[in-house]
Amino acid sequence: MQPAPVTKYRSFPPVSLPNRQWPNRTLTRAPIWCSVDLRDGNQALAQPMSVEEKLEYFELLVGIGFKEIEVGFPSASQIEFDFCRRLIEERRIPDDVAIQILCQCREELITRSIEAMRGAKNAIFHLYNSTSPAQRRHVFNASRADIVQIAAQGTTWVKQHARSLVDAGTRMRFEYSPESFTSTELDFALEVCETVTDIWQPTPADKIILNLPATVEYATPNVHADQIEWMATHLRRRDCTLISLHTHNDRGTGIAATELALLAGADRVEGTLFGNGERTGNLDIVTVALNLYTHGIHPGLDFSNINAIREVYERCTRLEVPARQPYAGELVFTAFSGSHQDAIKKSWAAQKPEAPWDVLYIPIDPADIGRSYRAIIRINSQSGKGGVAYVLEHEFGFTLPKLMHKEIGRIINDVADARGTELSAQDLHAVFRQEYLERTTPISLQAFKTAESDSNVRCEATLTIDGQTHQLTGEGNGPIDAFTRALSTTDLPKFEVLSYAEHSLGKGSEARAVSYIQIKTGRGHSLFGAGIDTNIELASIKAIVSALNRALARS
């Protein structure tokens, strides 16, 4: 990097817009969406999609609900041409979906593109030429007037050659892009767009699409919004125009730039699923659409099974959705922090079905996009007691007493520290079972039965203690009290029962009971034990044995 002061780069000039309106607006509706996955996205792949993959991807986009899909650059190659023809000839395009093609301002390319679209019911011809000072200077060695003439001549050719399609029944719409709009002088971008519009002669019923691309992202999102509002307020035929956005992500703010530009008056958004595109990518339509959804605005696109969408995307593009990608990433509904886990657990429990969504740290209900609750809490050495308790309850049905949360949390953290890695839900379950349910030394319960005698309960128990079998009896006001008194006749440490809780595990005839018992030893240590059995009485006895074994293991 250049040391300060930095002279190699310069700041982007602001837009003079003293009465800007967009900062005070709120989004209230979804834009028109156009997917450019099959063109912009496909050209950015190290290994472009095969025709069969493109067909599958097109069906995915239609299923999501896109009504405008840019399918390629048919004048650029035979593969692109053949794909467009196959969509049309095999009648793969629903009547309410428009296919869009991209083309430069050259007559032979325009006629080839028209031929590719022959027979389509709905079509958008997307014409573009570069307009920025750097493009004019370095690529075309052209003046402003030269660039205007290129756009004007291209539009004239499209209008002439598209007449045969219109006469054959195609609904043909026209889109024009001044490429590198955001680095073009605004007055010149307006001049080019007005010239093109003059030639096309749109109407309020048949609007022209003026696509104003951030081909490379140079400025902060507010500058992009200013540029869009400036154009929207200076166009002479705004009522005959759809203003379209096409942001890239070079500064990492493509989504913000799009959202602010929608506030500034844009009507339409071009982008790709998960932001695939050249360099740092195109706009991620999934994120913008679901951002709208979380504000109570239905985007008109269906992402209710985002896992299936992600699977097709990753298979066809050979790209991976990053783990932290909004909404679709593997870890976006995952909390490692103990305090976050506890807040999620408590706010989720308080969430009422009829109330607006208000779960802490999770801005969207994962179920709305087909994500499961299974991965919301995952455990590592930074996890807290709330997260551990959440997993045991929601994955395995163990509703631990509140006082037990801290104890199990400490045990799990110690295991995670020792392993130096994250613990899966299955790992957590295994540690819980090993610690509480599967201890058989030094005490093992062989048999237990009770009988009522007057107002008391009498128990008979067979235990193995340090390999020796013991027959014990005791009386008390219940099975737990009777068993505790029976144990007091042995050399085992003395203890008292502090708390008891139980619940069913499972439903129906296969349901079992699980008991949790907290004891306090003569040394002042308090700890829990747990037991499972089809008989609730026997589950509680097993919980006492579990607690004693844990106490003896600590001594």
> Domain holding 462: CATH number?
3.30.160.270
Q: Which of 284, 317, 350 is at the close of a domain?
A: 317
Tally of domains within the chain: 3
Q: Measured on CA atoms in the order 358, 361, 364, 367, is the torsion positive or negative?
A: negative
Q: 285-293 and 254-263 are packed helices; what angle lies between their axes, rounded to 10 degrees?
A: 50
Interatomic CA distance for residues 463 and 209, integer angstroms: 84
CB count in 10 Å sphere of residue 508? 6
Q: Which of 373, 408, 436 is the last residue of a domain?
A: 436
- Cis bond upstream, residue 442 (ω within 30): yes
DSSP readout, 72-141?
A: E-TTT-HHHHHHHHHHHHTT-S-TT-EEEEEEES-HHHHHHHHHHTTT-SEEEEEEEEE-SHHIIIIII-
Q: Determine the pLDDT at residue 375.
A: 41
Q: In angstroms, rounded to a whole number, what is the distance separating the alpha carbons of residues 31 and 369? A: 20
Identify the sign of the CA torsion 414, 418, 419, 422: positive
pLDDT of residue 334: 83
Q: Which pLDDT score, from 0 to 100, does residue 344 have?
A: 87
Question: 357 and 281 in one domain?
Answer: no
Question: Do 509 and 411 fall into the same domain?
Answer: no
Is residue 308 domain-shared with residue 362, that is, in the same domain?
no
Eight-class DSSP state of 420: T
Is residue 118 assigned to a domain?
yes
Residue 169 lies in a domain: yes
CB-CB contact of 491 with 463 (8 Å): no
Q: Are residues 427 and 470 in the same domain?
A: no
Q: CA 313, CA 306: separation in Å to the nearest integer?
A: 10
- Are 392 and 495 in a shared domain? no
Write the CB contacts of 288 (distance below 8 Å, at least 6 apart in sequence).
Answer: 255, 258, 259, 269, 271, 299
How far, in Å, are 121, 269, 463 from residue 170 at the CA level? 5, 23, 87
Cα 524 from chain centre: 49
User: Cis peptide leading into 5, omega within 30 of 0?
Assistant: yes
Quick one: tokens of 522? 């003569």
Task: State the Cα torsion 314-320-326-330 to the nearest 10°.
Answer: 100
> Do 486 and 350 sit in the same domain of this protein?
no
- Of the three residues 375, 402, 436, the one that is the final residue of a domain is 436
Q: What was the pLDDT predicted at 190?
A: 98
**How far is 79 from 92, CA to CA, in rounded Å?**
17
The answer to the question of residue 23 being in a domain is no
Q: Is residue 4 included in any domain, yes or no?
A: no
56, amino acid identity = E
Domain containing 412: what range?
A: 338-436
Residue 296 is assigned to a structural domain of this protein:
yes
- Residue 537 shares a structural domain with residue 453: yes
Please tell me whether residues 431 and 453 are part of one structural domain.
Answer: no
Residues of the chain predicted below pLDDT 70: 372-385
- 16: how many CB neighbours lie within 10 A of its CB? 9
Q: Is 454 helix (H, G, I), strand (E, B) or coil?
A: coil
Q: 249 in a domain, yes or no?
A: yes
Residues 466 and 430 placed together within one structural domain of the fold: no
**pLDDT computed for residue 511 by the predictor:** 87
CA distance 166 to 161: 10
Q: What pLDDT was estimated at residue 391?
A: 84
pLDDT of residue 509: 73
**Tell me, what CATH number does 133's domain have?**
3.20.20.70
Instruction: Note whether 270 and 137 are same-domain residues.
Output: yes
Same domain? 287 vs 344: no
The total of other beta-carbon atoms located within 10 Å of residue 382's CB is 17
* Residue 107 included in any domain: yes
DSSP designation for 379: B
Query: What does the alpha-carbon distance between residue 502 and residue 317 come to, in Å, rounded to a whole number?
Result: 51
Contact 88/94 with Cβ under 8 angstroms?
no
Q: What is the pTM assigned to this prediction?
A: 0.77
In terms of domains, do 311 and 259 share one?
A: yes
Residue 437 CA to residue 439 CA, distance in Å, equals 6
Quick check: is 324 in a domain?
Answer: no
SS3 sequence of 222-261: HHHHHHHHHHHHHCCCHHHEEEEEEEECCCCCHHHHHHHH
53: three-class secondary structure by DSSP: helix
